[in-house]
Amino acid sequence: MTVIDKLRDLQEARDLALITPSDAAHRARLLLDHDGMDTVDLAKFLEGKGYSGHALMAAVGSFGKAVKAEYIAQRGKPPLRVDEVVNGQHYLVNAYVELDLPMIERVFEVWS
């Protein structure tokens, strides 16, 4: 079973209320860290496309919503959320992995 299969199983367990969303996020982070699979940071993705400063901050929210909408359209459910630490604060963020990059690129082409 691949890490993607395990993540999908976690998502299914979360959707069926077998585990809490925060437990699913914690387990997903452990799986990703153990497997060495990096999540795709949408802010860094946009930085790579030339966004910075205020333009980046203004863009990341609407771009993230567009990526999430496309993910749901393709898979029929929202992406798994993982625990991320940003400036010492813990946040649940949507988890996209390297396999999602082609979809993220397509969303960027339409969104930009």
Mean pLDDT by 10 residues, the chain (112 residues): 84 91 86 81 95 94 97 91 81 87 97 94
Instruction: Determine the straight-line distance between the first and last CA of the chain, rounded to whole angstroms.
Output: 36
97 bridge partner residues? 39
pLDDT given at position 34? 80
- Look at residue 29 in the predicted model and tell me its pLDDT: 82
* Long-range Cβ contacts of 51-55 (<8 Å, 24+ apart): none
pTM: 0.77
Q: How far apart are CA 9 and CA 14, in angstroms?
A: 9
Q: Return the pLDDT at 90.
A: 80
Token readout for 106 is: 């397509």
